[in-house]
Chain A
Amino acid sequence: MNLDATETQPLGKAIKRKEDPRFIRGQGRYLDDIVLPKMLYMAMVRSPYAHARIKSIRVEDAYLVEGVKAVLTGEDLASMNLAWMPTLAGDQQMVLATGKVLLQYQEVAAIVAETRESAEDAASKVQVEYEPLTPVMDPFFALSAEAPVLREDREQKNNHIFHWEVGDHEETDAALAASAIVVKEQIRMPRVHPAPLEPCGCVADYQKSTGKLIWYVTSQAPHAHRTVLSMVSGLPEHMIHVISPDIGGGFGNKVPVYPGYVCAVVMSMQLGRPVKWVETRTENVATTNFARDYHMTAEIGATEDGRVTALKVSTIADHGAFDAAADPSKFPAGLFSIVTGSYRFPVAFAEVDGVYTNKAPGGVAYRCSFRVTEASFLIERVMNTLAYRLNLDPVELRRRNFIGVDDFPYQSPLGWTYDSGDYEKTLNTALDMIDYRGLRSEQQKRREQGELVGIGVSTFTEIVGAGPSHTFDILGIKMFDSCEIRIHPTGKAIARLGARHQGQGHETTFAQLIAQELGLSAADVLIEEGDTDTAPYGLGTYASRSTPTAGGAAALAARRVRNKAQQIAAHLLEVSPEDVQWDGSRFSAKGLSSRNVSMADVALAAYTNLPKGMEPGLEATYYYDPPNLTFPNGAYIAVVSIDRETGQVHVERFVAVDDCGTVINPMVVDGQIHGGLTEGFGIAFMQEIAFDADGNNLAPNFMDYLVPTAVETPRWETGRTVTPSPHHPIGAKGVGESPNVGSPAAFVNAVVDALSPYGVTNLEIPLFPWKIWEVLKQHGLTES
Chain B
Amino acid sequence: MFPNPFQYYAPQSLDEIFQILDKYGDEAKILAGGQSLLPMMKLRLAAPSVLIDVNGISQWANVNAQDQSLQIGALMRHRDWEHALDSRVPLLHSTAVHIADPLVRNRGTMAGSLAHADPAADWGAALLALKASVAIQSAHRLREVPLREFFVDTFTTVLEPQELLTEIRIPLPQNDAFVGARYFKLERKVGDFAVVGVAVTVVLNPEGVVTDAGIGLAAVGATPLAAVNAESLLRGQRLTLDLVQEAASEAAKESDPITDRRGSEDYKRAMVNVFVKRGLTAVHKDWQLQMDISA
Direct contact of A and B (CB under 8 A): yes
Q: Chain A interface (Cβ within 8 Å of chain B)? A: 116-117, 120-121, 124, 280, 282, 645-648, 686, 690, 698, 704, 706-709, 711-712, 768-770, 773-774, 777, 782
Tell which of B191, B262, B264 touches A709, judged by Cβ atoms closer than 8 Å: B191
Q: How far is the CA of A280 from the CA of B1 in the complex (A)?
A: 7
B248-282: contact bitstring with A at CB < 8 Å (1 yes, 0 no)?
00000000000001111011001100100000000
B157-202 interface with A by 8 A CB criterion: 186, 188-192, 195
Q: Which residues of A sit under 8 angstroms from B271, Cβ to Cβ?
A: 646
Given contacts A124-B44, A769-B186, A769-B263, 20 further A-B contacts (CB under 8 A): A116-B1, A120-B1, A120-B2, A121-B2, A646-B271, A646-B274, A647-B267, A648-B186, A686-B188, A706-B188, A706-B189, A706-B192, A707-B189, A709-B101, A711-B189, A768-B263, A770-B263, A770-B264, A773-B270, A774-B267
B1-17: contact bitstring with A at CB < 8 Å (1 yes, 0 no)?
11011000000000000
Query: Do most interface residues of chain A lie in helix, strand or loop, or is the interface mixed?
Result: loop
Interface centre among B264, B266, B267, B271 (most CB of A within 10 A): B267
Q: Least Cβ distance of B225 to chain A in Å?
A: 20
Cross-chain contact B2 with A646 (CB below 8 angstroms): no
Q: Least Cβ distance of A697 to chain B in Å?
A: 12
Cross-chain contact B267 with A712 (CB below 8 angstroms): no
Q: How far is the CA of A250 from the CA of B44 in the complex (A)?
A: 28
Tell which of B186, B189, B190 touches A646, judged by Cβ atoms closer than 8 Å: B186
Given known A-B contacts A116-B2, A120-B2, A280-B1, A712 and B189 have beta carbons under 8 A apart:
yes
Given known A-B contacts A686-B188, A706-B189, A709-B189, A770 and B262 have beta carbons under 8 A apart:
yes
Q: Which residues of A sit under 8 angstroms from B5, Cβ to Cβ?
A: 121
Tell which of A121, A282, A768, A769 touches B4, judged by Cβ atoms closer than 8 Å: A121
Q: Which residues of B sit under 8 angstroms from A712, Cβ to Cβ?
A: 189-190
Q: Which residues of B sit under 8 angstroms from A770, Cβ to Cβ?
A: 195, 262-264, 267
Cross-chain contact B192 with A774 (CB below 8 angstroms): no
In the complex, the chain A residue whose C-beta lies closest to that of B4 is A121
Q: Which residues of A sit under 8 angstroms from B44, Cβ to Cβ?
A: 124
Q: How far is the CA of A711 from the CA of B263 in the complex (A)?
A: 22
Cross-chain contact A709 with B261 (CB below 8 angstroms): no
In the complex, the chain B residue whose C-beta lies closest to that of A643 is B274
Q: Which residues of A sit under 8 angstroms from B195, Cβ to Cβ?
A: 769-770
Q: Which residues of B sit under 8 angstroms from A117, Cβ to Cβ?
A: 2
Q: How far is the CA of A648 from the CA of B278 in the complex (A)?
A: 15
Cross-chain contact A711 with B190 (CB below 8 angstroms): yes
In the complex, the chain A residue whose C-beta lies closest to that of B271 is A646
A-B contact count (CB 8 A): 56
A-B residue pairs, 5 tightest by C-beta: A770-B263, A709-B190, A645-B274, A770-B267, A117-B2
Interface centre among B2, B5, B192 (most CB of A within 10 A): B2
Q: Which residues of A sit under 8 angstroms from B186, Cβ to Cβ?
A: 646, 648, 769
Q: Least Cβ distance of A687 to chain B in Å?
A: 10
Q: Which residues of A sit under 8 angstroms from B43, Cβ to Cβ?
A: 282
In the complex, the chain B residue whose C-beta lies closest to that of A707 is B189
B140-170: contact bitstring with A at CB < 8 Å (1 yes, 0 no)?
0000000000000000000000000000000
Q: How far is the CA of A117 from the CA of B3 in the complex (A)?
A: 8
Q: Which residues of A sit under 8 angstroms from B1, Cβ to Cβ?
A: 116, 120, 280
B1-55 interface with A by 8 A CB criterion: 1-2, 4-5, 43-44
Given known A-B contacts A698-B261, A704-B261, A709-B101, A773 and B189 have beta carbons under 8 A apart:
no
Q: Which residues of B sit under 8 angstroms from A711, Cβ to Cβ?
A: 189-190
Interchain residue pairs with CB less than 8 A apart (24): A116-B1, A116-B2, A120-B1, A121-B2, A280-B1, A282-B43, A646-B271, A698-B261, A706-B188, A706-B192, A709-B190, A711-B190, A712-B190, A768-B188, A768-B262, A768-B263, A769-B188, A770-B195, A770-B267, A773-B263, A773-B267, A774-B264, A777-B270, A782-B270
In the complex, the chain B residue whose C-beta lies closest to that of A648 is B186
Q: How far is the CA of A34 from the CA of B19 in the complex (A)?
A: 44
In the complex, the chain A residue whose C-beta lies closest to that of B268 is A770
Q: Which residues of B sit under 8 angstroms from A769, Cβ to Cβ?
A: 186, 188, 195, 263
Q: How far is the CA of A402 from the CA of B185 in the complex (A)?
A: 45
Given known A-B contacts A120-B1, A121-B4, A774-B267, A690 and B261 have beta carbons under 8 A apart:
yes
Given known A-B contacts A120-B1, A121-B4, A646-B274, A708 and B189 have beta carbons under 8 A apart:
yes
Q: Least Cβ distance of B193 to chain A in Å?
A: 8
Q: How far is the CA of A387 from the CA of B267 in the complex (A)?
A: 32
Q: How far is the CA of A537 from the CA of B267 in the complex (A)?
A: 56
Q: Which residues of A sit under 8 angstroms from B261, Cβ to Cβ?
A: 690, 698, 704
Q: How far is the CA of A708 from the CA of B261 in the complex (A)?
A: 18
Q: Which residues of B sit under 8 angstroms from A707, Cβ to Cβ?
A: 189
Q: Which residues of A sit under 8 angstroms from B264, Cβ to Cβ?
A: 770, 774
Q: How far is the CA of A686 from the CA of B189 in the complex (A)?
A: 8
Q: Which residues of B sit under 8 angstroms from A124, Cβ to Cβ?
A: 44
Q: Which residues of B sit under 8 angstroms from A704, Cβ to Cβ?
A: 261
Q: Least Cβ distance of A382 to chain B in Å?
A: 28
Q: Least Cβ distance of A479 to chain B in Å?
A: 37
In the complex, the chain B residue whose C-beta lies closest to that of A773 is B267
Q: Least Cβ distance of A27 to chain B in Å?
A: 23
In the complex, the chain A residue whose C-beta lies closest to that of B43 is A282
Q: Which residues of B sit under 8 angstroms from A698, Cβ to Cβ?
A: 261
In the complex, the chain A residue whose C-beta lies closest to that of B39 is A703
Q: How far is the CA of A770 from the CA of B101 in the complex (A)?
A: 23
In the complex, the chain B residue whose C-beta lies closest to that of A710 is B190
Q: Least Cβ distance of B195 to chain A in Å?
A: 8
Q: How far is the CA of A646 from the CA of B275 in the complex (A)?
A: 9
Q: Which residues of A sit under 8 angstroms from B262, Cβ to Cβ?
A: 768, 770
Q: Least Cβ distance of B155 to chain A in Å?
A: 16
Q: Least Cβ distance of A225 to chain B in Å?
A: 25
In the complex, the chain B residue whose C-beta lies closest to that of A784 is B274
Q: Least Cβ distance of B223 to chain A in Å?
A: 20
In the complex, the chain B residue whose C-beta lies closest to that of A782 is B270
Q: How far is the CA of A280 from the CA of B2 in the complex (A)?
A: 11
In the complex, the chain B residue whose C-beta lies closest to that of A771 is B263
Q: Which residues of B sit under 8 angstroms from A645, Cβ to Cβ?
A: 270, 274
In the complex, the chain B residue whose C-beta lies closest to that of A282 is B43
Q: How far is the CA of A117 from the CA of B262 in the complex (A)?
A: 34
Q: Least Cβ distance of B97 to chain A in Å?
A: 11
In the complex, the chain B residue whose C-beta lies closest to that of A647 is B267
Q: How far is the CA of A709 from the CA of B2 in the complex (A)?
A: 26
Q: Which residues of A sit under 8 angstroms from B270, Cβ to Cβ?
A: 645, 773, 777, 782
Q: How far is the CA of A121 from the CA of B5 in the complex (A)?
A: 9
Q: How far is the CA of A782 from the CA of B273 in the complex (A)?
A: 12
Q: Which residues of B sit under 8 angstroms from A706, Cβ to Cβ?
A: 188-189, 192
Q: Which residues of B sit under 8 angstroms from A646, Cβ to Cβ?
A: 186, 271, 274
Q: Least Cβ distance of B19 to chain A in Å?
A: 29
Q: Least Cβ distance of B44 to chain A in Å?
A: 7
Q: Which residues of B sit under 8 angstroms from A774, Cβ to Cβ?
A: 264, 267
Q: How far is the CA of A690 from the CA of B262 in the complex (A)?
A: 12
Q: Least Cβ distance of A777 to chain B in Å?
A: 8
Q: How far is the CA of A769 from the CA of B196 in the complex (A)?
A: 12
Q: Least Cβ distance of A191 to chain B in Å?
A: 14
Q: How far is the CA of A647 from the CA of B5 in the complex (A)?
A: 46
Q: How far is the CA of A704 from the CA of B189 in the complex (A)?
A: 10
Q: Least Cβ distance of A377 to chain B in Å?
A: 21
Q: How far is the CA of A645 from the CA of B4 in the complex (A)?
A: 46
Q: Least Cβ distance of A110 to chain B in Å?
A: 16
Q: How far is the CA of A711 from the CA of B98 in the complex (A)?
A: 12
Q: How far is the CA of A706 from the CA of B193 in the complex (A)?
A: 12
In the complex, the chain B residue whose C-beta lies closest to that of A686 is B188
Q: Least Cβ distance of B257 to chain A in Å?
A: 11
Q: How far is the CA of A198 from the CA of B278 in the complex (A)?
A: 41
Q: How far is the CA of A653 from the CA of B186 in the complex (A)?
A: 22
Q: How far is the CA of A770 from the CA of B264 in the complex (A)?
A: 7
Q: Least Cβ distance of A341 to chain B in Å?
A: 31
Q: Which residues of A sit under 8 angstroms from B101, Cβ to Cβ?
A: 709
Q: Least Cβ distance of A42 to chain B in Å?
A: 13
In the complex, the chain B residue whose C-beta lies closest to that of A713 is B189
Q: How far is the CA of A117 from the CA of B4 in the complex (A)?
A: 9
Q: How far is the CA of A21 from the CA of B252 in the complex (A)?
A: 55
Q: Which residues of A sit under 8 angstroms from B267, Cβ to Cβ?
A: 647, 770, 773-774
